[in-house]
């Protein structure tokens, strides 16, 4: 249910209803800030492990002015597919973008095109990550592929252009420039400001290279999880801080003598390549910051769990430094809306494409249906509609964003969209028929990080996961086991609940018309990839 902490009386509730009615007569502008891999538990408003570090003061300010959705989830926890779901309001199997190797059919129905038809100006700046040329935008300037943190190349209708500076700042500046000079002030608008940060390889801006140097980042309880209670896919992934996080490419250690990057396989080298494109002054500041830290690491000569702990500290400090840059962007955009007199009729939404592992279960990256990667942030400020300081516990998904934007704009929502508008929730009411379960499906295997294909269902209390390629299951009671450490699939005490969730999984597959899990891996593939029983 959604609750408005500050609306304790009928009089105030009536005031809210009246203001909601008034604002409906003037269609709001929409500013949608979207980052990459920003886990909710790295946002202060979500009261996570890092709250004491104050990583997101501007996003937290946005939360105080609007509504925080506590149970926000993705449909497919990977970058491109999440964006395709948001564009279309349809699951991956329906929009055709099931993994990052696909190319999005930009000619299909998307919510920006529908907003254009409804009289909105639309603009998109930053990370597109769908391979195809953006459609449905009056103005756009996007990163090719994953993009670069420093001095990024960008693509627009005018062609390719390299911008000097830090990617988050460049994207923010382009968005602000459009707000100030590029839009028609007589039309409502949609502005999508989409950041690369804090995506791997976590290159912070120069101004934050030494942030958190004197801080010990809290460790998650599950940093040394060994996956003894999971199905075999959890033991056969390639996303462990211990075994898979690279000291040079991911953590910016100086390459040792004789180091040949061409001989290093199976890891992301984008940051290493990006360093070659930095200016002399950027490199000087970079090495001045990391040089002394790297020398201290060499002197320590760490191994075993001490090495894992060091890698975790370096990773998390860089991750949170990148988050800080995104938070700066949110602050700049909110300040301009106030300064320009736009704030009162502009919806501002902050979200990210999925959750992320911040050492939880010893991992980085996403992809799984486990909570840390399934959950995504969603914070919305809608003056006169969403009560300041309010929260909502109803289960929502990125499947719902397109429908929400369309209803905000008083535009028709096509019947073939598969989500539900969040507008009633933002108004403080949870419809009786609101979803009691959600559906998830991940497809990208064998591929980077080697996370097996799986689908599943989550309810308020329970979660059922099916690794259908290997005919393995997991079941969790989230009330008694929120960290998902105890797979109860073979526990007879849960037999009734498991059977109910299997039926619900089948119902949701039929409802969303998804039969794409019928492909089972051939036996030789099972022998090749299923290395640990």
Is residue 410 within 8 Å of residue 27, measured between CB atoms?
yes
pLDDT at 523: 55
In-domain check, residue 521: yes
pLDDT in tens, 25-48: 489 999 999 999 999 999 999 999
Write the DSSP assignment of 113-130 as a string of letters. HHHHHTT-EEEEEEE--S
Is the same domain home to 382 and 510?
no
The order of strands in the sheet holding 472-477 is 437-442, 454-459, 462-467, 472-477
pLDDT in tens, 510-528: 999 999 987 655 555 555 5
In-domain check, residue 217: no
Burial class (CB in 10 A: 0-12, 13-18, 19+), 198: buried
Query: Could you tell me the CATH number of the domain that includes residue 349?
Result: 3.40.720.10
Interatomic CA distance for residues 140 and 157, integer angstroms: 7
In-domain check, residue 279: yes
In-domain check, residue 179: yes
Query: Could you tell me the CATH number of the domain that includes residue 483?
Result: 3.30.1120.10
Q: Determine the average pLDDT of the residues in 188-216.
A: 98
Is the same domain home to 129 and 243?
yes
Q: Determine the average pLDDT of the residues in 280-298.
A: 98
- Domain assignment of residue 116, given as a range: 29-209+239-427
Checking if the pLDDT of 19 tops 60, the result is no
pLDDT at 12: 35
Interatomic CA distance for residues 259 and 144, integer angstroms: 29
In the listed set 390, 410, 427, which residue is the last one of a domain according to the structure?
427
Is the same domain home to 469 and 355?
no
Is the same domain home to 416 and 459?
no
Confidence tier at 266 by pLDDT (50, 70, 90): confident
Is the same domain home to 337 and 467?
no
Checking if the pLDDT of 495 tops 90, the result is yes
Checking if the pLDDT of 330 tops 80, the result is yes
Q: Determine the average pLDDT of the residues in 284-295.
A: 98
**Hey, CA dihedral for 352, 358, 360, 361, is it positive or negative?**
positive
How high does pLDDT run on average in the chain?
93
Whether omega before 458 lies within 30 degrees of 0, making that bond cis, reads: no
Is the same domain home to 165 and 204?
yes
Beta strands in 6-48 (DSSP E): 29-35
Is the same domain home to 50 and 151?
yes
Is the same domain home to 127 and 266?
yes
Is the same domain home to 46 and 111?
yes
Which of 94, 141, 138 lies closest to 115 in space, CA to CA? 138
Interatomic CA distance for residues 411 and 113, integer angstroms: 11
Q: Give the number of domains in the chain.
A: 2
In-domain check, residue 226: no
Is the same domain home to 519 and 422?
no
pLDDT at 304: 98
Is residue 179 within 8 Å of residue 222, measured between CB atoms?
no
The SS3 call for residue 22 is: helix
Checking if the pLDDT of 14 tops 90, the result is no
Q: Determine the average pLDDT of the residues in 167-185.
A: 98
Interatomic CA distance for residues 70 and 430, integer angstroms: 14
DSSP class of residue 179 equals I
- Other CB atoms within 10 A of residue 221 CB: 13
Checking if the pLDDT of 509 tops 90, the result is yes
3-state helix, strand, coil in the chain (%, to 5): 35, 15, 45
Is the same domain home to 113 and 197?
yes
The SS3 call for residue 456 is: strand
Is residue 352 within 8 Å of residue 37, measured between CB atoms?
yes
In-domain check, residue 45: yes
In-domain check, residue 22: no
Checking if the pLDDT of 68 tops 80, the result is yes
Q: What is the pTM of this model?
A: 0.94
In-domain check, residue 219: no
Checking if the pLDDT of 24 tops 70, the result is no
Is the same domain home to 76 and 133?
yes
């Amino acid at each position: 249910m959604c609750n408005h902490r500050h609306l304790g009386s009928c009089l105030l509730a009536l005031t809210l209803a009246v203001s909601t009615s008034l604002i409906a007569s003037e269609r709001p502008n929409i500013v949608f800030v979207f980052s990459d891999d920003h886990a909710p538990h790295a946002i202060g408003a979500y009261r996570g492990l890092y709250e004491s570090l104050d990583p997101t003061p501007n996003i937290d300010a946005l939360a105080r002015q609007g509504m925080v959705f506590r149970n926000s989830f993705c449909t497919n926890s990977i970058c491109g597919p999440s964006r395709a779901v948001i564009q279309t309001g349809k699951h991956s199997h329906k929009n055709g973008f099931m993994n990052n190797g696909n190319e999005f059919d930009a000619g299909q129905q998307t919510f920006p095109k529908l907003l254009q038809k409804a009289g909105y100006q639309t603009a998109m700046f930053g990370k597109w990550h769908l391979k195809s040329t953006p459609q449905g935008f009056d103005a756009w300037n996007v990163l090719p592929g994953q993009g670069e943190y420093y001095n990024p190349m960008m693509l627009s209708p005018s062609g390719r252009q390299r911008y000097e500076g830090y990617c988050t700042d460049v994207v923010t500046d382009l968005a602000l420039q459009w707000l100030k000079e590029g839009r028609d002030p007589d039309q409502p608008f949609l502005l999508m400001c989409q950041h690369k940060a804090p995506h791997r390889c976590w290159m912070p801006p120069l101004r934050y290279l030494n942030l958190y140097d004197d801080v010990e980042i809290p460790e998650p309880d599950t940093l040394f999880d060994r996956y003894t209670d999971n199905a075999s896919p959890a033991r056969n992934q390639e996303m462990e801080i211990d075994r898979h996080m690279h000291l040079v490419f991911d953590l910016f250690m100086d390459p040792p003598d004789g180091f040949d990057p061409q001989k290093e396989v199976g890891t992301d080298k984008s940051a290493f390549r990006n360093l070659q494109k930095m200016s002399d002054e950027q490199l000087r500041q970079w090495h001045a910051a990391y040089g002394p830290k790297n020398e201290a690491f060499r002197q320590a000569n760490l191994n075993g769990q001490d090495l894992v702990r060091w890698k975790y500290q370096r990773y998390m400090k860089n991750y949170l430094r990148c988050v800080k840059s995104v938070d700066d962007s949110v602050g700049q955009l909110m300040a301009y809306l106030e300064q320009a007199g736009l704030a009162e009729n502009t919806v501002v939404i902050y979200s990210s494409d999925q959750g992320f592992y911040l050492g939880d279960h010893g991992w980085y990256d996403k992809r799984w249906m486990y909570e840390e990667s399934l959950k995504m942030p969603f914070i919305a400020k809608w003056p006169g509609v969403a009560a300041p300081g309010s929260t909502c516990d109803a289960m929502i998904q990125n499947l719902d964003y397109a429908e929400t934007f369309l209803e905000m704009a008083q535009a028709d929502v096509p019947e073939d969209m598969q989500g539900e508008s969040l507008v009633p929730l933002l108004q403080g009411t949870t419809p009786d028929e609101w979803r009691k379960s959600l559906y998830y499906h991940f497809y990208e295997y064998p591929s980077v990080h080697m996370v097996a294909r799986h689908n599943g269902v989550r309810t308020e209390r329970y979660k059922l996961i099916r690794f259908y390629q290997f005919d393995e299951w997991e079941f969790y009671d989230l009330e008694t086991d929120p960290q998902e450490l105890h797979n109860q699939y073979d526990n007879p005490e849960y037999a009734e609940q498991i059977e109910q969730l299997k039926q619900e999984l089948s119902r949701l597959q039929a409802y969303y018309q998804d039969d794409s899990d019928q492909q089972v891996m051939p036996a030789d593939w099972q022998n090749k990839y299923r290395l640990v029983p």
